[in-house]
Structure 1
Amino acid sequence: MNAADGFEPLSQILLDDDFDRGLQGWTLLTGNYEGSLDTILPEQRDFRPPMLSNLTMWDTGTAGSLHGSYAMKLATRARRDSIAVALKRLTFRRAQPIRVEGWVTSKPEATSMTLSDRDVRSFGIFLDLQDDEHRVMPHLRFLNADGDGPPRHQWQYKASPRRAQTISSETRTHFHLGNDQWTDVPDGRQDLCYNELATKQNWHYLRVDFDLATMRYLEFQCNDRVWSGASLEPLTMPAWPNLRGMLNVGFWVDANTDSRSFLYVDSVMLSTGVIG
């Protein structure tokens, strides 16, 4: 089975990344700096990079990915609030609808023989876009748990950016993956399959449709649930220097406890064209 068989792309495919072929340009999101690494924001200095994994577990052995042997793995440190993030950088040719699809699964590190179902705080997907007037950053996350309370299982979006900080006349920076300023997606609670052990994983289908012409959400889907994007707002700010035409795609995961949290991405497809 080819990874593309699990997707429903629009008419033109821009990316078809199956991580059996390597990382294919997916890389660490490094905080902006100039002159010295000390200018990286403190929250961004320890972002963890993506790696390849064949999903080896201590009790079940090597499972491989959904469509083959390897997945892209994001792994936080064993520290609450630690973040791991992966980014693919490209630009767009036409301001029209785009569709991002992926098969993902999120798990805690199996360091104890417990369910550990609240160790992962959240995982999510984001875009980083810029046209002539605005930098626009759609962010969606699945909030699994937050603090010591019960599981949340809630989809959220982020519409309010933190104030950007200026490093120089040409370089700015801001932290946009923090556990703040999130808004619940209406009717956005969803119980995802979390199998009985921390060493078992079930893959989930994720899709985001976004219009580059209007810079608005169109729709997003996880498994059998579909939400309209009409009420969702992306992060929006005035255009930054040197970024016109940017079309970046990213995934991240963050830890709710002092245990490592993982996000595995089997494959990603980015396509563009007319929807409907």
Structure 2
Amino acid sequence: MTPSLEQSALSRFDPLSRIIFLDDFDRGFCGWTQLVGNYEDTLDTMLPGYQQHSAPMLSTLPHWDAGSHGGVDGDYALKIATGPRRGAQNTAIKRLTFRRAGPIRMEAYLTFKPEATELKLLETEIRSVGFLFDLQVGDRTGAGSERVMPHVRFLNASDGAHVQRWQYKPNAVDFVPIGTDNKTVSHYHLSPDGWVDWPDGEQRLCYNEIPTKVNWHYIRFDFDLAAMRCTHFQCNDRTFDTSGFESLRIPAMKNLWCMLNLAFFAEADTDKRAFLYVDSVCLSGEF
């Protein structure tokens, strides 16, 4: 029997027993959207980090020398594009809640490139690409309840130097009051400070020889919502030690119970747009 397109898409992943979502962007945006910062009364109260964000796009990975690259098994991928400014960032997010605090597994196929405006490799034009979860326990957890935000990035380059290292971000960022009603706060947790090198986290990824060629990379990140800890991280053929991994932790917030948000992000290292492409994402769990 010929497998369906959904079965074919799922066969490239190794999910847990329940599929929470399987997003292949040949079917559209699948609920992924712009990460908008908190504001009150006027958009001008939004923190500057969030003001630079724009909506993700659907892309065939077009380029000037051979047309469109396309996705892993179709035409489209989700494109997250920064502005043409050194240090510029952009993010795409999907917002859910969970039904039980158990193990979850995120798997994705992604690739990255800067805007191909020169006839050379441009391998150090992207500073970083990565992902994060924004999680909060259920409303009956009790005293000491937390909002937990595991952040992972691949630091590709820094100030023109090729770094190629995985990092995580364990430290909370200060909250800033928004507006005058004392109801809204915000924090730009993607700020460039506070990242920590993953032990033995160096990895040379496949980055093809001209600026329009891409190769897709597999990533997997396992997390236990009951213990609120990372249990597995893998990129391609490499599995990394998670025993020292720490998530950004803050006290639980009054209106975010059972939150299960996932985001991908990109950051430019030069005054040129950085592109992160996500072909497909599978989030599964033991619920």
TM-score interval w.r.t. the shorter chain?
Answer: over 0.9
CA distance in 1, matches of 2:191, 2:9: 32
CA distance in 1, matches of 2:46, 2:230: 30
Query: What aligned pairs does 1:171-186 form with structure 2 within 5 A after superposition?
Result: 171-186=184-199
Query: What aligned pairs does 1:121-160 form with structure 2 within 5 A after superposition?
Result: 121-131=127-137, 132=141, 133-148=145-160, 150-160=161-171
Cα deviation, residue 203, structure 1: 0.1
CA distance in 2, matches of 1:225, 1:90: 29
* Matching residue's letter, 2:225: L
CA distance in 2, matches of 1:101, 1:134: 25
- Unaligned stretches of 5+ residues in structure 2: none
Q: Does the Cα contact within 8 Å between 2:24 and 2:279 map onto a contact in 1?
A: yes
Query: What aligned pairs does 1:102-251 form with structure 2 within 5 A after superposition?
Result: 102-131=108-137, 132=141, 133-148=145-160, 150-167=161-178, 168-251=181-264
* Matching residue's letter, 2:215: N
**Cross-structure match for 2:46:** 40
CA distance in 2, matches of 1:113, 1:48: 28
CA distance in 2, matches of 1:219, 1:249: 16
Secondary structure (helix, strand or coil) at the match of 2:10 reads helix
Cα deviation, residue 5, structure 1: 1.6
Q: Does the Cα contact within 8 Å between 1:74 and 1:84 map onto a contact in 2?
A: yes
Alpha-carbon deviations, 1:14-68, whole Å to 9, x = none? 0100000000110000011111111100121111221000111100211210121
CA distance in 1, matches of 2:253, 2:167: 26
Q: Does the Cα contact within 8 Å between 1:48 and 1:83 map onto a contact in 2?
A: no
The runs of 4+ residues in structure 1 deviating greater than 6 Å are none
CA distance in 1, matches of 2:286, 2:9: 20
Secondary structure (helix, strand or coil) at the match of 1:44 reads helix
Q: Does the Cα contact within 8 Å between 1:170 and 1:241 map onto a contact in 2?
A: no
CA distance in 2, matches of 1:48, 1:124: 17
Percent of paired sites with the same residue:
52
TM-score calculated relative to the size of structure 1? 0.97
CA distance in 2, matches of 1:169, 1:230: 39
TM-score calculated relative to the size of structure 2? 0.93
CA distance in 2, matches of 1:234, 1:253: 19
Length, aligned pairs only: 273
RMSD of aligned Cα (Å): 1.1
Cα deviation, residue 268, structure 1: 0.3
CA distance in 1, matches of 2:48, 2:183: 20
* Matching residue's letter, 1:230: S
* Matching residue's letter, 1:143: L
CA distance in 1, matches of 2:114, 2:79: 12
Secondary structure (helix, strand or coil) at the match of 2:226 reads coil
CA distance in 2, matches of 1:60, 1:193: 20
